[in-house]
Amino acid sequence: MEKKSRLINFIKALIIIVTAVAIVIGTSRILLLKSEDGINQFQAFYKQPENSIDVIFSGSSKVYCDISTGVLWDNYGIAAFDLGGAEAPSWVSYYQLKEALKTQRPKVICYEVSVAAMYSMLTQANNWASDNSYGMKWGKNRVDLIKENSEEEEFLSRLNPFNIMHGRYKDLDENDFTNVRNSVVYKGFDPREAVIEMDTPTMDGVIETEPCTEKEDIYFRKIIELAKQEGIPILLFASPYGVTEKEQKILNYIGVLAEEEGVEFIDFNRKYDELDMNFSSDMADGGHLNYSGNYKFTKYFGSILKDKYEIPDHRGDTRYSSWEWDSALQNFERNDLIIEKSEDAVEILNLAQKGYIVFGVNGEKAYIIDDGNIVSEGDPGFRLTYTKGKDSFLFTEWDDKGNHLVSLFVNDDEYIEYYGNILFIYDTVNHKYIKSIYY
């Protein structure tokens, strides 16, 4: 009887422990920082089918801002992934690549080197250190990365993600519970929309070298050695940006280092003309390309990859449908940006065809146009409802204290404008309200 009682108590205790662990794991997943500066990238990376990625891009934010996986897919059928991290130095990329190669055998690793020229850090601050490690699964690579990227007194504190996450309760939103960007469709690309005007750097006469930090040098060689040990070709490259003379000298040094190690290095800051780079329209900031710039750069880079490496074209292969979706989402995001910036209603109507719903008023008539076809019409006092997939819409005319108004409800959100000849534009692929415009 006593034995039975002890067994029951043991089972109860075990249930309590298992439940507590499940709650902690579930809570940590919700509270985990949702960041497209490294965390979302790694979470999505783990969801990729084993040995499905042909090109891994590794490095800093320049990777996921400058390399469009959708452009590589559309033009070459390349199945690529942007596994970058915020201002990630070479030691961060080294451990990230060690982790990545557990499940993937790419045809080539492309490593972006500019951080070594732009910064002289030995460790990273909390924000970037957490972005660059907390997306990784628990294991030796994550622990080693945190240790190498932390001051001695920071290490133990950073090992426990709750030290970063515990203050996030008040900041939780819907994205913390859904976080669609860690799905298999997401391939790491996180572009910048801004446009700044810059002078074109002129570094043709800069041929001197200046070494990067010793720590960067050591881990550059470790990354190259890792690729060689795994039998995977590696290509070092510097993405185009507003490079300074000092930074160019360090990039020149990295070119010498690459030659010593017997690997190729391409400094795209020497190829502005070939890239058709326009520093008055292609830069989001001094260090990152915008949509215009990353399209040009990626298309050019893709042609190099196809020429130099045996990378298959997976277009039409149903096993790679997630890359097709990734490309479609990116194309709609590019199109959405054009619509957002346009003040021409005719141009917007031409752009907002397949994949868009247009809610419009013309005189006394109201229309709902889906994929370019009128699906509903309304007369004065209209109240039109429409549903597509999980999205529900209400388009209605109304008065408020003498103000003649028109409202578009998209699920729980309302967009109100004064009555007139007006268009409301909604992207059904990215489930995004874009804008309204009078005409």
- DSSP string covering 251-304: HHHHHHHHHHHT-EEEEGGG-HHHHT--TTTSEEETTEEBHHHHHHHHHHHHHH
Phi and psi at residue 435, to the nearest 5°: -170, 170
Average pLDDT over residues 308-323: 98
Average pLDDT over the chain, rounded to an integer: 91
Point out which residues pair with 385 in neighbouring strands.
394
Confidence of residue 174 (pLDDT cuts 50, 70, 90): low
Instruction: Check whether 227 has a pLDDT greater than 80.
Output: yes
**Rounded distance, CA 49 to CA 208, Å?**
45
Confidence of residue 7 (pLDDT cuts 50, 70, 90): low
Confidence of residue 172 (pLDDT cuts 50, 70, 90): very low
What per-residue confidence (pLDDT) applies to 177? 47
Instruction: Check whether 153 has a pLDDT greater than 90.
Output: no
Confidence of residue 35 (pLDDT cuts 50, 70, 90): low
Confidence of residue 127 (pLDDT cuts 50, 70, 90): confident
What per-residue confidence (pLDDT) applies to 417? 98
Name the burial class of residue 161, with classes exposed (0-12), middle (13-18) and buried (19+) by CB atoms within 10 angstroms of its CB.
middle
Collapsed DSSP state (helix, strand, coil) of residue 135: coil
Instruction: Check whether 21 has a pLDDT greater than 50.
Output: no
The 3-state secondary structure of 351-398, one letter per residue: HCCCCEEEEEEECCEEEEEECCEEEEEECCCCEEEEEECCEEEEEEEE
Instruction: Check whether 185 has a pLDDT greater than 50.
Output: yes
Work out the percent of the chain whose per-residue pLDDT is above 70. Answer: 87
Note the pTM of the prediction, 2 decimals.
0.86
Residue range 71-109, pLDDT digits in tens: 999 999 999 999 999 999 999 999 999 999 999 999 999
Average pLDDT over residues 279-302: 98
Higher model confidence: residue 266 or residue 27? 266
Average pLDDT over residues 370-378: 98
Q: Which of 91, 101, 265, 275 is nearest to 81 (CA)?
A: 101
Instruction: Check whether 326 has a pLDDT greater than 90.
Output: yes
Instruction: Check whether 60 has a pLDDT greater than 60.
Output: yes
Phi and psi at residue 55, to the nearest 5°: -135, 120
* CA 69 remoteness from chain centre: 10
Average pLDDT over residues 108-122: 97
